[in-house]
Structure 1
Amino acid sequence: MKSTTRGTLAAFVTGVAAVVGAAGPAAAVGAVPVPVPLEGVSDSLNMEMPKAGLEVPLLTPGAPDGPRYVTGRLLPERTLPQLPVTGALPGADLRTPLPHVLGDGFDQVGVGAPASDLRTLSPGLALDAPLTQPNPDNFGLPDLRLPQAGVIAPVLQTVPGAALGTGPSQ
């Protein structure tokens, strides 16, 4: 096996091991950190390259809130219940070298957008039949009425944040 093939294979296995090792603690957070290895490019081109780190979200479906039976209705209140899904928005940490344009103390510019918690509910459906409950005044037969149909709106809750800054390289 050539040394370049062996080096490429070692770099790939190291990257996979880093991602798998970070997946355990990150599962509690809702995102898996994924480093972007650019050190090899930096060494081969003999120049400082940008540094990048990403966070990939892990989506976790929850248990749907089941239909609720209400007196006066033939069908349950939520015929098609909403499905909750929790996770995180993708995050990124990007830093790039900057020539001394802004002065001697500023060597890099960076953007940090951490993964933020995300809570969603899928759309639901509420239906009611065009019949009422049995009416004793009508010999036990149900009365007719207009059918009812409604869409329960989806929900999306998150608080994203980001920071842009310059400073000395690290």
Structure 2
Amino acid sequence: MKSTTRRTLAAVITGVAAAVGAAATPAAAAGTVPVTVPLNGAEKALGTELPEVGGEIPLPAADRPEAPRFVTGRLLPERTVPQVPVNGGLPGLGARAPLAHVLGDGFDHVGVAAPATPLRTLTPGLSLDAPLTAPNPAGSHLPDLKQPEIGILAPVLRTDPAAALTAGTGR
């Protein structure tokens, strides 16, 4: 490859990266990054209508976990390893494809739209208690022995996905 071609290719890649970075900044504030598949050049080169494909990629963000709560009669807090909430979303998809008429010219279209939906999760957590009780003020002021306790806090996943399938005539 010639050095002129390499320089041109590097300039094009730098320009595309700058454009994508500038476009992603407002999207990052919104929580999703739009993604489109550019097929216009191939559509013009082939002289036919191609599908339109795009989507949204959500950006996950961790929230602040709940603080451990101390309970009377326990040496360790109620949630030793707290659950961490992570909010994000399911990716969105938008696609529209032409369907050629079997007889005659022209196209109909079929499309699917599944918008990005919010996703709220909680990571697994752990609740422990030591095999000792609090100091006994009535006796020798030493802790008594008891059964150790361990509990696993199950992860949580909440979302409400939706999708729509459409078909129609024309562009």
Same fold per TM (> 0.5)? Answer: yes
Aligned to 1:75: 76
Alignment deviations for residues 122-164 of structure 1 (CA, whole Å, 9 cap, x no partner): 0000000111111123211111111000001111111111111
TM superposition shift of 1:43: 1.6
Code of the residue aligned with 1:150 in structure 2: it is: G
Aligned to 1:156: 157
TM superposition shift of 1:20: 2.7
Aligned to 1:115: 116
What are structure 2's unaligned runs of at least 5 residues? none
Q: Residue 19 and residue 118 in structure 1: after superposition, are their counterparts in 2 closer, same or farther (change >3 A)?
A: farther
What are structure 1's unaligned runs of at least 5 residues? none
Code of the residue aligned with 1:27 in structure 2: it is: A
SS for the counterpart of 2:165 is strand
Alpha-carbon RMSD:
2.7
The answer to whether the 8 A contact 1:79-1:126 is kept is yes
Would you say how many aligned residue pairs link Structure 1 and Structure 2? 168
Q: Distance between the aligned counterparts of 2:135 and 2:156, measured in 1? A: 37
Code of the residue aligned with 1:45 in structure 2: it is: L
Code of the residue aligned with 1:86 in structure 2: it is: N
> Which deviates more from structure 2 when the two are superposed, residues 36-45 or residues 114-123?
36-45
Mapping of residues 6-21 of structure 1, within 5 Å: 6=8, 10=12, 12=13, 15-21=16-22
Percent of aligned positions with the same letter in both sequences? 56
Q: Distance between the aligned counterparts of 1:72 and 1:26, measured in 2? A: 49
* 2:37 pairs with 1:33: no
User: TM-score normalized by structure 2?
Assistant: 0.85
Code of the residue aligned with 1:147 in structure 2: it is: P
Q: Distance between the aligned counterparts of 2:140 and 2:64, measured in 1? A: 42
* 2:123 pairs with 1:87: no
TM superposition shift of 1:56: 1.2
Aligned to 1:134: 135
TM superposition shift of 1:7: 7.8
* 2:166 pairs with 1:165: yes
Q: Any runs of at least 4 consecutive aligned residues in structure 1 with deviations exceeding 3 A, and if so which?
A: 5-10, 12-19, 103-106
